[in-house]
């Protein structure tokens, strides 16, 4: 496309955008279970309006926009309240989980340098199920990734003993997930905490997808094991607002046990031609709308709103769990939150995945072991029965080799 020489009418452009969108997954119908967190039209409208109110403002300028600075403080304080943050704990809003994880790693590295723990050849020790974002950040910072196999007992949990064995004097961080993305399983964070204490290593909990879910599941009576700052060895956490926080995209939180740790995060520069600058996160300009939308959604939903939504998601996960088991699927480990992965002993996963895609179900999948993967939203309560019915039919079709062509299962 070349830029039009003369501007086009907005009605035209708008119509074209709507028409382009018709080629996308029809996520509003609830048949998408990855990328989208559908908490209903009312939350969507709220995100939209609250984002628009501060869309032009810039979180980079706390002096110019004390409104955003205070909203960010409030969001961090609400986050720490939910995640066991002790007195003096702190953090920042970032653009997403990848930003939060990158900044946590940068902070841990600079902390290690300041403590002269290790000056080079840094490594981090993560479970094999740890998110791609750690690999990306490690690549950016020239940090070695030590990816440690999971336990082999069918729990799909990180293996604390194996992780301990991978740690050496150059290890600047170890990681547990709450939960991990591929299996939806919460790692044994308390045991990882013991390892971190013994080895004197920074423990980061990646609660990107669980940070705004697990606390409410626990309030609803789900037996969620300790996974947050309640464990003294946990130095930092990542928790995404734009996932189960049901906030507008472009918002996550990175949290630290103390200001002493946090101080290694912000980047400042006064030795250049321009005015002295301070950027707390990876971003320079920080979209005010992402901050204001997060603040608004958290205030409007409140604890009771989140409890209700996460309760619905847990119920739906349980219905799907029961339904797929009745069809002969094995559920990987014991999922407690909104993610679930399952496989069938005598059906090819990719064939099943493809057959479901042909019926309009857009989901992720897990590779180790090959499994179907769902990340559920409140909306899925309405379509769980349809999903199970389609899955039963697709299973039959796959078994008789009549499921249609396989889709390309890369980068889902």
Ligand X SMILES: *Cc1c(COP(=O)(O)O)cnc(C)c1O
The residues of the shown chain that bind ligand X, judged by CB under 6 A, are: 96-98, 131, 133, 177, 180-181, 206, 208-209, 240, 252
* Least distance to ligand X, CB of residue 134, Å: 8
- In 3D space, the residue among 266, 264, 267, 202 whose CA is nearest the CA of residue 237 turns out to be 202
- In 3D space, the residue among 98, 244, 111, 264 whose CA is nearest the CA of residue 184 turns out to be 244
Instruction: Tell me the C-alpha distance between 394 and 389, whole Å.
Output: 9
CB closer to ligand X, 214 vs 347 = 214
Instruction: Tell me the C-alpha distance between 43 and 55, whole Å.
Output: 18
Backbone region of residue 375 per phi and psi (left: phi > 0; alpha: psi in -120 to 50; beta: other values): beta
* Least distance to ligand X, CB of residue 338, Å: 11
Whether omega for the bond prior to residue 369 falls within 30 degrees of 0, making it cis, is: yes
* Least distance to ligand X, CB of residue 250, Å: 9
* Least distance to ligand X, CB of residue 285, Å: 18
CB closer to ligand X, 89 vs 177 = 177
* Least distance to ligand X, CB of residue 173, Å: 14
CB closer to ligand X, 210 vs 323 = 210
CB closer to ligand X, 362 vs 404 = 362
Q: Where are the alpha helices (DSSP H) in 157-236?
A: 160-166, 189-199, 214-219
* Least distance to ligand X, CB of residue 40, Å: 21
Q: Where are the alpha helices (DSSP H) in 97-187?
A: 97-114, 132-141, 160-166
CB closer to ligand X, 171 vs 364 = 364
Strand-strand pairing, 203-206 and 171-177: parallel
Instruction: Tell me the C-alpha distance between 31 and 358, whole Å.
Output: 12
* Least distance to ligand X, CB of residue 143, Å: 17
CB closer to ligand X, 178 vs 320 = 178
CB closer to ligand X, 280 vs 338 = 338
Instruction: Tell me the C-alpha distance between 383 and 58, whole Å.
Output: 39
* Least distance to ligand X, CB of residue 253, Å: 11
CB closer to ligand X, 170 vs 412 = 412
Shortest-Cβ-distance residue relative to ligand X: 97
DSSP secondary structure of 284-352: SS-BHHHHHHHHHHHHHHHHHHHHHHHHHHHHHHHHHHHHHHHTTPEEPS---SSEEEEE-TTS-HHHH
């Amino acid at each position: 496309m070349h830029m039009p020489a003369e501007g086009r009418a907005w009605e035209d452009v708008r119509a074209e955008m709507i028409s382009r969108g018709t080629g996308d997954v029809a996520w509003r119908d609830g048949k998408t279970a990855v990328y989208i967190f559908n908490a209903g039209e009312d939350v969507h409208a709220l995100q939209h309006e609250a984002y628009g109110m501060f869309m032009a403002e810039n979180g980079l300028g706390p002096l110019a926009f004390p409104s955003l600075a205070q909203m960010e403080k409030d969001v961090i304080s609400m986050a720490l309240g939910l995640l066991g943050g002790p007195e003096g704990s702190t953090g920042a809003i970032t653009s997403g989980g990848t930003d939060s994880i990158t900044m946590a790693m940068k902070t841990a590295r600079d902390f290690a340098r300041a403590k002269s723990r290790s000056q080079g050849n840094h490594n981090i020790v993560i479970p094999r199920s740890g998110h791609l974002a750690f690999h990306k950040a490690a690549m950016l910072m020239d940090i070695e990734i030590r990816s440690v196999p999971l336990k082999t007992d069918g729990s799909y949990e990180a293996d604390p003993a194996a992780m301990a064995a991978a740690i050496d004097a150059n290890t600047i961080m170890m990681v547990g997930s709450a939960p991990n993305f591929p299996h939806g399983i919460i790692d044994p964070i308390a045991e990882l905490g013991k390892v971190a204490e013994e080895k004197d290593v920074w423990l980061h909990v990646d609660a990107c997808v669980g940070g705004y879910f697990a606390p409410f599941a626990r309030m609803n009576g789900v037996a969620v094991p300790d996974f947050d700052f309640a464990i003294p060895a946990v130095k930092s956490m990542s928790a995404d607002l734009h996932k189960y926080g049901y906030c507008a995209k472009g918002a996550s939180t990175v949290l630290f046990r103390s200001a002493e740790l946090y101080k290694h995060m912000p980047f400042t520069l006064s030795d250049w031609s321009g005015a002295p600058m301070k950027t707390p996160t990876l971003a320079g300009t920080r979209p005010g709308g992402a901050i204001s939308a997060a603040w608004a959604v958290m205030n409007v939903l409140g604890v009771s709103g989140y409890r209700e939504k996460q309760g619905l998601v847990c119920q739906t996960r349980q219905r799907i769990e029961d339904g797929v088991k009745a069809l002969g699927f094995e559920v990987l480990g014991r999922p407690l939150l909104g993610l679930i992965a399952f496989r069938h002993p005598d059906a090819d996963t990719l064939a099943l995945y493809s057959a479901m895609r042909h019926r309009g179900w857009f989901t992720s999948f897990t590779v180790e072991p090959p499994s179907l993967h769902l990340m559920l939203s409140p909306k899925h309560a309405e379509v769980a029965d349809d999903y199970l019915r389609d899955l039963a039919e697709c299973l039959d079709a796959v078994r008789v080799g009549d499921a249609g062509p396989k889709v390309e299962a890369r980068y889902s």
